[in-house]
Amino acid sequence: MFILIINVFTLDNQCSSCEVSVQELYDSYESGAGEQQLITYFQNICLSLPDMLQMECIFFVPQEVPKLIKLVERQIPVETVCTLLTACNYPILPINAKCDICVVMFTFVEDLPAGFDLEVFLESICEIFQEEEKDQCHAFIKQEYNNIIDYISKNYSPEQVCEQLEVCDK
């Protein structure tokens, strides 16, 4: 998903670091910062990382910031983003989290390379949930997989897919 960010947040205080960084990106974008400004800002943050992560971070920032901007535009809560990045482990997901997670998941689907195993990707999202919800998520993916493929082939937006799957209200 966000390879760079997952690597960066394996450091100490990963949850709070994620929330602060993602909130900073949200605030900067909403204040009018453009994509290139945000890329430069986060590449400068890369320079404060341990040497072994700096180059990887600098390389991946231009690929990851546009994805985060999509989340800002869709008003996905910071807590949900950091939970999806596995930087945070909220025992109780925020209100509307399932809808938000669904929208984020299908936002990422739009960016998957051709030939990527969609079912494996969707199943991996289930891993952020607690045990009972994780099982429900896996069962849901199996049950709805053909519908999901149909909605994607019809170029439904992430919001439309999630509404059709009745994960989000219409």
SS3 letters for 7-38?
HHCCCCCHHHHHHHHHHHHHHHHHCCCCHHHH
Q: Which CATH architecture is the domain 97-164 placed in?
A: Orthogonal Bundle (1.10)
Question: Which range has highest mean pLDDT (10-24, 38-52, 96-110, 144-158)?
Answer: 144-158
Q: With a cut of 60, say whether residue 57 has pLDDT above it.
A: yes
Of 5, 11, 54, give the one whose Cα is nearest residue 25: 5
Provide the residue ranges of all domains of the chain, joining segments of one domain with +.
3-84, 97-164
CATH architecture of 3-84: Orthogonal Bundle (1.10)
Same fold, 3-84 and 97-164: yes
Question: Taking the CA of residue 116 as centre, how many other CA atoms within 13 Å lie in the half-sphere pointing to its CB?
Answer: 12
Contact between 98 and 167 under an 8 Å Cβ cutoff? The reply is yes
Whether the per-residue pLDDT at 108 is higher than 70: the answer is: yes
* pTM of the entire predicted model: 0.60
What is the arithmetic mean of pLDDT over 7-17?
Answer: 61
